[in-house]
Amino acid sequence: MKDKVEAALAKVRPSLQMDGGNVELVDVSKDGVVKVKLTGACGHCPMSQMTLKMGIEQVLKEEVPEVKEVVAI
C-alpha cells in the first residue's frame, strides 16, 4: 500500500510545490492511517490543515481506498 500512497502523493506534489511547499510520506499503518510531514511553505501555512484534509486526504482516499485518514506530524 505504501507504493500506492507514494504514487498518489506524486499527483498532489506539483500544486504544493507551486506555492513553495511539499509533502513527505512518513508512515503508512496497517489500519489505513497515513502520516505525512508538510514542508516548506506548507509547514507553516495557516491553511495547512485544510490543505491536508480537503486536498491531500481526499486525493489519497480516491486513489487508495484502503486509506482511512491522513495525519500531519
What is the mean pLDDT, run by run of 10 residues, along the chain of 73 residues? 95 92 95 95 85 92 96 92
The residue ranges of every structural domain in the chain are: 2-72
For residue 36, the model assigns a pLDDT of 96
pLDDT of residue 45: 82
Going by C-beta distance under 8 Å and a sequence separation of 6 or more, which residues neighbour residue 56? 9, 12, 23, 36, 70
Q: Identify the architecture of domain 2-72 in CATH.
A: 2-Layer Sandwich (3.30)
Q: Which helix (H) or strand (E) holds 42?
A: helix 41-44
pLDDT digits (tens, 9 = 90+) for 19-32: 899 999 999 999 99
Read off the pTM: 0.90
